[in-house]
Amino acid sequence: MKNFNVASIYLFHTCNYNCSYCTAAQSIDNRLGRFSRAVTEEGMEKIIKFFNERGQWHILYAGGEPTIHPHFIELTKKLSQNHYIRMATNNSMNDEKLQQFVKEIDPMRFDYIQCSLQEKDEEKKRLFKFVERAKILKENGFKVFVTYVAVPTRLELVKKYYELFMENGIPFVIQPFRGKFNGLIYPDAYTCEEREFLDKYMISAMYRSLLETSDRKPFGKDCNAGYKRVYIDGISGKVYKCLLEVTNDLGNIYENNINLSEKPEKCKAKTCTCIFEPHLEIEELLYKDLDKILKCEVHYDKYIFDEYKNKSLEIQQFSDYWKRRQREILQKIFKDASGKVIGIYGSGKHTEKIFEVYKEVFGQVDFQLVFFDSDKTKWNKQYLNSKILDPKSIPSLNLDRIIISSHRFQEEIYKSLKQYEDIGVKIMKIYDKQDTIIFI
């Protein structure tokens, strides 16, 4: 396992579903006509060439929904000739496409297919079709398992779905919900009763561990990201160490270049929930857990659970480091802010974490806050005791500065705001190019 080269490639952000609990919802474009270079003949040829010239890879399709790629089967067929494929999908292929897929693609070249059961498919007829599609994949030799996000409103259905899929020999994996629901932050907000209930039906030791710990604390631990594992943005073609380090690229698949590390490096991420890019200490545990899932075992392995949980905990010295870094950044971006009007671009979890830490360190703010977001559906809505406004209103607001509350899209946002420096508004970045995300 340690010698695997693994690439997670996000072919595009487009999806044919719009799930309320999707962690990628803010970046996904649901207009199906908009794809990326990865769907063009030239783009696909470059992707295939990039991998074929660099040995054998295990390639994870993610996104967006990979199966709506206009040439999904053609691309998969060519890549799987020399490499192994993994896929996270909502299992929505139509009958014709599914039959073509199982006919033309060798299941021995697939590590697994993760089929996510989404709220859209919980209606009775759609659920029946979802199960049938999963069974067709399984009957044709593909390693299939179903995942289900345990949003508080969906808990009552867990037992029913567990029995439905497990009786059909299809592993059913419960994923703890991560995010805000009715003002509460999950998975921390699950009650003892809810945790005990979920425990009965959880077959993944990894996800059972995340139900307890919320996430991993990998900072300072050896990791294969950038050495044996990479994350690829199919839109730009840029190759990164992992999903949490997207400010400093390693190369570009469309330009056929990459500069990998010569050995594992210390992780710079404060927290991580990515199952595909674990730090080395738990990598083997993840594969043992996956093996047990695919064998459709009825309950998680308690030894793997304990080991995974214990090895996911934070080292105290790194905990102290992160607290110091957060304080330093807050002091920098809010220096001399008292009594002024401060703009914050971004109205998501990153911003909420900034002010959660600010309150812990400095107490209540003594300046006026105004929030901006490119998402039109948020405009004029209340947020953190203020309002979210259209960025076009910036010139009329007498702002002292605008702080960009984003790691992944910091440079893109900065380019859109730079024009306001001409009217005296300071545009402030939180992160240096080499920084990993800190407010998470």
Per-residue pLDDT at 316: 66
Tell me the pTM: 0.75
**C-alpha–C-alpha distance, residues 131 and 129, integer Å:** 5
Query: Tokens representing 22?
Result: 């999707």
**C-alpha–C-alpha distance, residues 313 and 308, integer Å:** 9
The answer to whether residues 326 and 350 touch, using CB atoms and an 8 Å cutoff, is no
Name residue 265's amino acid.
Answer: E
**C-alpha–C-alpha distance, residues 2 and 136, integer Å:** 32
322 has pLDDT over 50:
yes
**C-alpha–C-alpha distance, residues 115 and 41, integer Å:** 27
If pLDDT is split at 50, 70 and 90, which confidence band does 2 have? Answer: very low
If pLDDT is split at 50, 70 and 90, which confidence band does 1 have? Answer: very low
**C-alpha–C-alpha distance, residues 208 and 206, integer Å:** 5
Plot region of 336 (φ>0 → left; ψ -120 to 50 → alpha; else → beta): left
Alpha-carbon distance values, 247 to 186, 253, 408 (Å): 28, 17, 7
If pLDDT is split at 50, 70 and 90, which confidence band does 277 have? Answer: low
Percentage of the chain modeled with pLDDT above 90: 68
Give the chain's mean pLDDT.
90
Residue partners of 11: CB distance under 8 A and separation at least 6: 36, 38, 39, 61, 62, 63, 64, 66, 69, 234
pLDDT tens-digit series, residues 6-20: 999 988 877 877 777
Place of tokens 């999908």: 89
The answer to whether residues 35 and 14 touch, using CB atoms and an 8 Å cutoff, is yes
Name residue 238's amino acid.
Answer: K
Per-residue pLDDT at 243: 81
If pLDDT is split at 50, 70 and 90, which confidence band does 203 have? Answer: very high
The whole-number average pLDDT for the span 300-304 is 94
**C-alpha–C-alpha distance, residues 259 and 412, integer Å:** 24
Higher local confidence (pLDDT), 426 or 268? 426
pLDDT tens-digit series, residues 208-255: 998 988 888 888 888 898 999 999 999 899 999 988 777 789 999 999
Alpha-carbon distance values, 23 to 91, 135, 228 (Å): 18, 27, 25
pLDDT tens-digit series, residues 364-415: 999 999 999 999 999 999 999 999 999 999 999 999 999 999 988 899 999 9
Query: Tokens representing 352?
Result: 């909420």
Pure H helices in 68-143: 72-79, 95-104, 124-139
Alpha-carbon distance values, 148 to 13, 17, 105, 124, 212 (Å): 21, 15, 26, 16, 17
The whole-number average pLDDT for the span 248-274 is 89
Query: Tokens representing 370?
Result: 């105004």
Higher local confidence (pLDDT), 170 or 310? 170
The whole-number average pLDDT for the span 25-31 is 47
The answer to whether residues 33 and 85 touch, using CB atoms and an 8 Å cutoff, is no
**C-alpha–C-alpha distance, residues 436 and 440, integer Å:** 10
Identify the CA nearest to 371 among candidates 385, 361, 357: 385
If pLDDT is split at 50, 70 and 90, which confidence band does 131 have? Answer: very high
Q: In the chain, what are the domains?
A: 6-310 (3.20.20.70), 322-429 (3.40.50.720)
Which stretch of 187-191, 336-340, 412-416, 433-437 has the lowest confidence by average pLDDT? 433-437
If pLDDT is split at 50, 70 and 90, which confidence band does 276 have? Answer: low
The answer to whether residues 53 and 101 touch, using CB atoms and an 8 Å cutoff, is no
Identify the CA nearest to 241 among candidates 257, 256, 258: 258
For 344, phi then psi, to 5°, come to -120, 120
Alpha-carbon distance values, 291 to 216, 301, 353, 404 (Å): 21, 11, 36, 42
134 has pLDDT over 50:
yes
pLDDT tens-digit series, residues 62-74: 878 999 988 999 9
Chain CA centroid to CA 307, Å: 24
Task: Count the alpha carbons within 13 Å of 353 in the hemisphere toward its beta carbon.
Answer: 17
Query: Tokens representing 343?
Result: 């703009």
